[in-house]
A = this chain, B = another copy of it.
Amino acid sequence: MDTGTPAAADTNKQPRTERGRRTLRKLLDAAAVEFGERGFHDASISGITARAGTALGSFYTYFDSKEAIFQALVRDMSEAVKVAAREALAEPASALERERAALTAFLRFAAEHKEVYRIIDEAEFVDPESYRQHYETTGARILDRLREGARKGELRADLEEAHAWAIMGMNVFLGLRYAVWGEGDLPAERVAAIAGDLLAKGIAVDR
Contact = CB atoms under 8 A, between A and B. Distances in A.
Contact of A162 (B159, B195, B206): B195
Contact of A122 (B125, B161, B198, B204): B125
A155 B194 contact: no
A160 interface: yes
Interface stretch (A6-14, A75-83, A163-171): A163-171
Contact of A132 (B139, B155, B162, B181): B181
A200 B202 contact: yes
Nearest to A131: B176
A64 interface: no
A184 interface: no
Contacts of A39: 125
Given A39-B125, A166-B195, A205 B155 contact: yes
Nearest to A41: B41
B132 A166 contact: no
Interface of A: 39-41, 96, 121-122, 124-125, 132, 135, 139, 146, 153-156, 159-163, 165-174, 176-178, 181, 186, 190-191, 194-195, 198-206
